[in-house]
Amino acid sequence: MSNFEIVTREDFSDVTYLLEVRHPLMAKAAKPGQFVIVMLSEQGERIPLTIADFDRAKGTITLVIQAVGKTTRQMQKECAVGTSLYAMVGPMGVPSSISHAKKVICVGGGLGVAPIYPQARAFKEAGAYVIGVVGFRNKGLVFWEDKFRAVCDEYIICTDDGSAGIKGLVTAGVTQAIDKHHDIDEVVAIGPLIMMKGCCDTTRPYAIKTMVSLNPLMVDGTGMCGGCRVKIGNHVKFACVDGPDFDGHQVDFHDLIMRLRRYTKEERIAMDHWEESCRLQKSIDRKVDSATSA
């Protein structure tokens, strides 16, 4: 019987939630940039999730999840403090290279805000001047501001509607930082593909090294299935064993975006089937309650 106990649950919005899972050995081994593969149940789907934080003293791994598909929606519904995940494998992937850069910009957009935090903290611990740039749709979705300010020398919040920080995409924050600091050594960006592509397009004219964390479709996490292959320059790499971090200026974002759309139909079918199962179960529960109270 697995015992990957959930010790903390926090909901940031109606679709984004945090799970802190007890796993002392993994917490001891985890490094920034790595990910885990989790299973909610024995018959469940294997899904890769970037490690958003780890606490070696508490022996916990923190995951920040967005409920966008069948499994993440099911986890949102069922994962509560005191319950357990069936399986959690990791840490997987090559840890992020925390270079000797003296000044870096750490960019996180949407769900990518959480996994950029360990990177920012690691750069700060290595002695770098850290500029954090994060993006949200609106002020109500902002989270971890205090945590970021504790490890960032400058912190720029960008919101689509201007309700917090500056109005605009994270690229506006990156441009602001570059205009102010002409000695940026490196940019690290994590978030939706279109956001990371935008960051790379912004830094390319300045020839600033830009690393991104890719999230292709992944099955086994060992490089054997080949599902997570990505085009990096003239080479094909596997995100699970060669990444997930790659030189953003070499990534074929168009190819990766098209690959992520490949199973849209199947994902919709799985979601519809799960939602119908939930509706049937609610109907059964109501009938049982009515019979019991009669």
Residue 286 belongs to some domain of the structure: no
68 lies in the same domain as 118: no
140 lies in the same domain as 59: no
Range of the domain at 133: 103-213
127 lies in the same domain as 180: yes
User: Cα 67 to the chain's mean position, in Å?
Assistant: 12
Classify burial at 266, counting beta carbons within 10 Å of its beta carbon; exposed 0-12, middle 13-18, buried 19 or more: exposed
pLDDT in tens, 173-183: 999 999 999 99
85 lies in the same domain as 143: no
Last residue of a domain, one of 213, 240, 259: 213
* Sequence-ordered list of residues with C-beta below 8 angstroms from that of 245, at least 6 positions apart, any chain: 33, 94, 96, 97, 211, 212, 213, 214
Tell me how far apart the alpha carbons of residues 21 and 87 are, in angstroms, rounded to a whole number: 11
Whether residue 253 has pLDDT greater than 80 = yes
pLDDT at 290: 64
88 lies in the same domain as 111: no
pLDDT at 287: 61
User: Cα 217 to the chain's mean position, in Å?
Assistant: 14
68 lies in the same domain as 138: no
109 lies in the same domain as 166: yes
Residue 116 belongs to some domain of the structure: yes
Whether residue 292 has pLDDT greater than 90 = no
Residue 152 belongs to some domain of the structure: yes
Q: What angle do CA 39, 53, 191 make, to 5 degrees?
A: 80
59 lies in the same domain as 112: no
Arithmetic mean of pLDDT, 243-271: 76
- 274, 76 contact by CB (below 8 A): no
Whether residue 193 has pLDDT greater than 80 = yes
88 lies in the same domain as 167: no
Question: Nearest CA to 211 among 190, 232, 194?
Answer: 190
Last residue of a domain, one of 67, 92, 117: 92
- 201, 180 contact by CB (below 8 A): no
Residue 266 belongs to some domain of the structure: no
pLDDT in tens, 31-60: 888 888 888 888 888 888 888 889 999 999
The CATH number of the domain holding residue 70 is 2.40.30.10
The CATH number of the domain holding residue 198 is 3.40.50.80
34 lies in the same domain as 108: no
Last residue of a domain, one of 73, 92, 111: 92
Pairing of strands 235-238, 229-232: antiparallel
Pairing of strands 186-190, 103-109: parallel
123 lies in the same domain as 154: yes
Arithmetic mean of pLDDT, 275-281: 67
Tell me how far apart the alpha carbons of residues 126 and 41 are, in angstroms, rounded to a whole number: 39
Arithmetic mean of pLDDT, 18-39: 90
pLDDT at 162: 84
- Count of the separate structural domains present in the chain: 2
Whether residue 230 has pLDDT greater than 70 = yes
Residue 238 belongs to some domain of the structure: no
81 lies in the same domain as 113: no
